[in-house]
Structure 1
Amino acid sequence: MPRLRLATINTNGIRAAYRKGMGEWLDGRDVDILAIQEVRASTDDITELLGPEWNVVHDEASAKGRAGVALASRRKAEIHRVELGAKTFDSAGRWLEADYDVDGTIVTVVSTYVHSGEADTPKQDEKWKFLDAMSRRLPALERHNELAVVVGDLNVGHTPLDIKNWKGNVKRAGFLPRERAYFDRFFGPRGKKVEGADGSTGRGLGWVDIGRQQAGDVEGPYTWWSWRGAAFDNDTGWRIDYQMATPALAARVKHYSVDRAESYDKRWSDHTPVVVDYDI
């Protein structure tokens, strides 16, 4: 059975990441499809950095030098889509879907970069809009293809296991109860009533958090650490980079890895790659 190795990484600027060592990581990782967030570069830049063997689809942000999501693969995307939500909603540079033919089986991959937000500000209003749009798109995505996966920097720690110092962050964007309630519904049993972290109720969508499924009920493993202080050295991090899959694709997971750098000086992003092997 063919293996599909899917990696996701928020590069915090792909050109800077390459200057710091991203290329060496990629060369040694045997990745089939690479999802990138916060590209902050042109499609030509991505292609030049990755090399001619990679086929790149890219959705730039409306504001130059901001956000940007991409998918790079050894195979060409059969089709790709960038629309999310109403036409009046600007999701440019934050949602990119592509269908890939993996030895005769179509797999749908989404690279997404959810807004970081800021509590009680217009930035948070944009995040609510994006999470609402995701909530509507996920069921349609599964109807489109039962083998689908949404990967990227989702900028929300779902439970206290996902943030080292969660008690000090319950009023901050990234761990607000209302944000976490969306994830309660994303990962809740399909069609069943789910009570969210904020006390709201809704219906579960049935998607699977591959990281939590594979790691179990343990702290982390974290995927983002501040550049400041000793956060990385003390492993004071957040798990905000996800691979979330339909149940049919989640059943095909063979290996999950968080590629944490060996030391602070070996980091090439404030995030770390999340790599999953699927049997297709």
Structure 2
Amino acid sequence: MGFTVASFNVNGIRAARRRGFDEWLADRSPDVVGLQELRCPLSEVGEFPGYTASVDVGSIFGRNGVGLLTRVEPAAVRSWAVDPPKARGLGAFASHGRYIEVDLADRPLTVACLYLPKGGQPAHLQRPGGMREEMDGGAKYQRKMRFLAGFARELDRNRLAAARAGRDFTLVGDLNVAHVEHDVTNWRAARKMEGFLPEEREWFSSLLSPRRLVDVVRATHGDRPGPLTWWSWRGDSFTKDVGWRVDHQLSSPALARRCDAVWVDKEPSPESRLSDHAPLMVRYRD
């Protein structure tokens, strides 16, 4: 049977439920589900039959929010709201509902869920009339870069803590970075866009190593285009499969070696979409 971990940016859990999230969850029945962008107060997250929900909705109304659904109540839960990050540069994000992790009670595994800031273009790439958002002098870019620098240190600390406790470790979530050219359909044009800037991709590379963390999706899928996880709501990008992979699962080496399947659970039509993202699924051998 194996053990399946899903990562899903639901772009608002209330909206995703109206579109059929609960039916998807009951039908697919993954063992662990990492959720990003809950975007609602704790009182409106609701229950998930058959699962224990560990969540941090954050303090910014209608934005962010992360959660982990597990079949068995976790042995421990850590969120930045309760256990603030120790790495310099992350303190400003502690109350935003961006990171949560659990120690599973039924297997030696720590699962972490992250919703990383989207960011923006650096100042030298911003042009009047050439942006979807207002020019900000690179403020959102600098904010994201501070997060990246701090989170790399925090991630090292957390995966090493798991290892010392005899646990495997996996980070799931919307990292808002596409790592390699195969992760973006129109990668040449994307090189000057947030999420595919050279410095963001270099940061992503710095997280990976055969002795630290493995991108299990790329390692299993191979050196070929896709799989994509995000498509714009606009136009025909979903139908034509023109999109990005910004959703990832990075696992400790021993766990990565047990990965035997990865797939994106993309809906069959634009009308049946649950979110602008699709669930990223990874199955491990027991």
Query: TM-score, normalization: structure 2?
Result: 0.86
From 149, 155, 178, give the equivalent of 1:132: 149
Which of 54, 58, 62 in structure 2 is aligned with 1:57? 54
> What letter is aligned with 1:27?
A
Structure 2 residues not aligned, in runs of 5+:
123-137
Q: AA paired with 1:209?
A: D
Residues 79-132 of structure 1: CA distance to partner in whole angstroms, max 9, x if unpaired?
121233347332331111111122xx3210011001111112222222112211
Give how far 1:3 is off. Answer: 3.1
Residue matched to 1:233: 239
Structure 1 unaligned regions, length at least 5: 191-205
1:189-232 Cα distance to aligned partner (Å, 9 max, x none): 55xxxxxxxxxxxxxxx310011011101111100000011111
Q: Structure 1 stretch 60-69 or stretch 86-95: which is displaced more?
A: 86-95
The one-letter code of the counterpart of 1:116 is K
Q: Give the strand-richer structure, 1 or 2.
A: 1
- Residue by residue, what CA displacement relative to the aligned partner does 1:59-95 show, whole Å, maximum 9, x if unpaired? 1222111000011112111112123334733233111
> Aligned Cα RMSD in Å?
1.6
Match of 2:109 in 1: 107
Find the counterpart in structure 2 of residue 182 from structure 1. Answer: 203
Match of 2:92 in 1: 89
Find the counterpart in structure 2 of residue 23 from structure 1: 22
Aligned pairs (5 A) from 1:110-259 = 110-120=112-122, 121-146=138-163, 147-190=168-211, 206-259=212-265
- For residues 93 and 252 of structure 1, the distance between their equivalents in structure 2, rounded to whole angstroms, comes to 30
Work out whether residues 67 and 113 of structure 1, in 8 Å CA contact, stay in contact via their aligned partners in 2: yes
1:76 to 73, 80, 89: 73
Give aligned-pair identity as a percent.
Answer: 38
Q: Distance in 2 between matches of 1:10 and 1:109?
A: 16
Q: Secondary structure of 2:240's partner?
A: coil
Matched residues in 1 for 2:237 and 2:56: separation? 32
Change (3 A) 1:47 1:73: farther
Between the aligned partners of 2:43 and 2:33, the Cα distance in structure 1 is 16
Whether the 8 Å CA contact 2:217–2:282 is kept in 1: the answer is: no
